[in-house]
Amino acid sequence: MKKRKLIGLATMGVIASLTLAACGGGGGKKEKGGSGNGETETADISKFPIKTTNEDEAIEGGTLEAAMAMDTTFQGLFDPAFNEDAYDSRFMEVSHETLFGFDEHFMIDDSGVATFKLDREAKKGTIQLVKDAKWSDGQPVVAEDIIQPYLIIGHKDYAGVRYGAQFENIVGMTEYHEGKTEDVAGIKKIDDKTVEIEFKEVNPGLEMADGDGGIWQFAMPAHIFKDLPVKDMESSDPVRKNIVTFGPYKMSKIVRGEAVEYTPNEYYYQGKPKLDKIIIRQTPTDSIVEAMKSKKYDMIISMPTDNYSAYKDIEGYELLGRGELAYTYIGFKLGKWDTKAKRVAYDPESKMANKSLRQAMAYAIDNKAIGDKFYNGLRTAANTLVPPVLGDFHAEEVKGYVDQDVDKANKLLDEAGYKDTDGDGLREDPNGEKLEIKFASMSGGEVAQPMAEYYMDQWKEIGLDVKLTTGRLIDFQSFYDKLKNDDPEIDIYQAAWSISVNPSQVALFGPIASFNYTRFEDDKNTELLEAMDSEEAFDTERRIEIFHEWQEYAAEEAFAIPTLYRNELLPVSARVKNFDWNHAPNGRFWYPVELTAEER
């Protein structure tokens, strides 16, 4: 998922400051580390450029080599209907393109392959192809390709994570999902270039450049997928090996666990792109700095910020920076996913169901110190589950758990009946039973282990016995497999979301959202989530009020504690030209990119 954009220019504040920033590696200053005695260099994200400044004359063609900094193996699910993690999404940025373009406020405009027009009174939306796009196999993009992903995601045999409230809002989708009909009644082909979708209710998110609102952003080649059994698609060649797209480049070679190679899509509607080839190799984070020093790559995607000081001055690279559409959080497992009903099954008797316990664990930690000490100021303490990059929708006035308060944490536990009854320094639960809390956290990067240990040490300070699930940090893919399958050895977990530009939280915390890994549900939460996407929410001021009310409520319930808002850096070789990393207007980075020298 990606982050939503807000009403007004507030949402673009970070992006605008980056665009206007001076060139160079970014400014920084020395500050005392909050969780240690040494000094830590903190960086100011507003000092980094968002576009490459290279103006040299371009060479013809050339191969751009990039690294994907990661400590796991990419899954290789290269279709948005099946993709589940940010690494695959970043591989797809080169080759996959959305149907819709969008403006600086992330509202759908006329700049893409297709347009979307919403008739609020009729509760219908019209998608029309306005450019003669072709798939990388030469077939034209047609109306059937727009309809195809709805038929897959909504199918009863679909095993992915995209089906949810936004799809059920389409007339006839529930009946189709239950296998009662062969087609979705509310989706109609008007002609070869036009599709009409009828909704049960309309909401502001429908007009935003994001799939969470109900309009799926991607087409799928129906001439390839229409005859494949849905249950077999996730493991099929069109998803994993032979990828057909209509973006500027096509995936010409995929070696899982190693690299993806791209060559120009000769049928691209804007014309053939400039590079002969792009190669992105997965590369361990512990070797990425040495790779930069030896000029092994033109670009480092998903560059860690925890070791910023080790690479900030390496010659031959320009550091681009921007606010990341992402945040880190600590979630509490409060139930399971009901696979039969396909919805959250909240358990009010679960180990972590006591709100005072969750709040106490939040007050015990100092995320300001973590942001400075572990991330050089490139991550900052988070107060709500809606980041500031979403502008007015972010509730700055909500205090949350930004300020550490150990005394308050202890008081909450005492009053809730969590007391040390046997004198070992660790609290028992209110029934006097031993309380052991299993904490799942991911491996990767230099600070993963010390940060997990910091959290556990802080929780021990308030008398809680917290141990790592499996006894060690967990690989990225295994971690999310355990979360998705509600591993009983997970009581709390540290994870991160890459979020959408539509601020609606339904797809992350709603009762039928499979991404709701906390499995929390109650009437008030559902009421507020539904209000975000209601008819009344077309009034921008009212929608903002609803979002602020939900953030206050979510902070009180503490089913998920936001810990850090994130900024990201992208080292780019000095020979790369015309790379614009701005989230807006379209985020289509790769088509205009050129090289200005044969070698780095």
Tokens representing 383 are 């107060």
Tokens representing 253 are 């070679």
* Whole-number Å distance between alpha carbons of 293 and 519: 45
Kindly give the parts of the chain with pLDDT less than 50: 1-38
3-state secondary structure 47-87: HCCCECCCCCCCCCCCEEEEEEECCCCCCCCCCCCCCCCHH
* Whole-number Å distance between alpha carbons of 92 and 133: 18
CATH (one of 3.40.50.1100, 3.10.105.10, 3.90.25.10, 2.60.15.10) for 325-567: 3.10.105.10
Q: Would you tell me how many other CB atoms lie within 10 Å of the CB of residue 202? A: 24
* Whole-number Å distance between alpha carbons of 467 and 460: 10
Give the model's pLDDT for residue 482.
97
How many degrees, rounded to 5, is the angle at CA 440 between CA 469 and CA 547? 155
- Between helices 448-461 and 367-375, what is the axis angle to 10°? 160
Give the model's pLDDT for residue 18.
20
Which is nearest to 202 in space by CA: 213, 212, 187?
A: 213
Give the model's pLDDT for residue 78.
97
Spacing of C-alpha 142 from chain mean position: 29
Give the model's pLDDT for residue 8.
22
Q: How buried is 416 (Cβ within 10 angstroms: 0-12 exposed, 13-18 middle, 19+ buried)? A: middle
C-alpha distances (whole Å) from 274 to each of 52, 58, 64, 131, 249 are 16, 10, 11, 21, 10
**DSSP-H helix ranges across 306-378:** 308-311, 355-363, 367-375
Tokens representing 305 are 């910020």
CATH class of 114-232: alpha beta
CATH class of 58-95+233-321+571-595: alpha beta
Tokens representing 415 are 């009053």
pTM summary value:
0.78
* Whole-number Å distance between alpha carbons of 552 and 550: 5
Two domains, one topology: 58-95+233-321+571-595 and 114-232:
no
Q: Contact, 99 vs 6, CB < 8 A? A: no
Give the model's pLDDT for residue 353.
98
Give the model's pLDDT for residue 41.
66
Give the model's pLDDT for residue 11.
22
Q: Contact, 56 vs 577, CB < 8 A? A: yes
Give the model's pLDDT for residue 4.
29
Give the model's pLDDT for residue 503.
86
- Between helices 523-532 and 540-557, what is the axis angle to 10°? 150
Buried b (16+ CB within 10 A) or exposed e, 186-199: bbeeeeebebbbbb
Phi, psi angles (nearest 5°) of residue 538: -65, -20
* Whole-number Å distance between alpha carbons of 410 and 153: 47
Annotated domain spans of the chain? 58-95+233-321+571-595, 114-232, 325-567
Give the model's pLDDT for residue 29.
42
The secondary structure of residue 600, as a DSSP letter, is: -
Phi, psi angles (nearest 5°) of residue 215: -100, 115
Give the model's pLDDT for residue 212.
58
